[in-house]
Amino acid sequence: MVKPRSSNPDLVNQTLIKLHWVKLVHNSFKSGSYYVLGDTTWTTTNLTWALEPGIRSDAIKPIKCAFQSWENATKFKFEKIDNYTKANVKISFTPIDQLREFLEYPKSVALSSYPPDGLLHFRADVPWVNGAQRGKMDIETVAVHELGHILGLEHSDVPSAVMYPTTKWGVIKRNLHEDDIAGIKEMYNFP
């Protein structure tokens, strides 16, 4: 079960996604840039991931692309496996009434956990799409952001960063920003 960590919210379109601990790190190479590291990291860079059986088929490609974004920018390698219970990262589309945190924060669209838990719950009743459509939420946009949390990152104060705490309905924000990459490299001592 995903547990809220503090009163610092993630927001999508000014609505709560989840809660976190915060460790703010100033990027001395870029004036005014801060990225936020979580408190835990993975002990390996080879992680497996799986989708809950019966997951909606239109979610598979954008989720794969989200993993590929983080793999391209880091030393992490992500392998999709079929065994949901044995995967490091477990992804589901969860009905609002089946996860306490969705009931506590009914405007949230996704919840994820930090290393080593690796849980990502998309709220099943959100109008999800692959792409930018008015009034709908892009699966890949949210997946890239939430995978950053699963890897241990918190938020960036750079509005164009994927790890910025807000995004809007009907838009895409899939490309990792240099601030996202600097944060993950700092966290894992990647060159």
Distance (Å, whole) CA 108 – CA 130: 19
Distance (Å, whole) CA 80 – CA 91: 11
Distance (Å, whole) CA 23 – CA 155: 9
52 has catalytic annotation = no
The answer to whether 110 touches 123, Cβ cutoff 8 Å, is yes
Distance (Å, whole) CA 184 – CA 70: 9
Cβ-proximal residues to 136 (8 Å cutoff; 6+ apart), any chain? 127, 128, 129, 169, 170
Distance (Å, whole) CA 105 – CA 154: 19
Catalytic member of 101, 140, 146, 154: 146
**Exposed, middle or buried: residue 107 (CB in 10 Å: 0-12, 13-18, 19+)?**
middle
**Exposed, middle or buried: residue 106 (CB in 10 Å: 0-12, 13-18, 19+)?**
exposed
What positions carry a catalytic annotation?
146
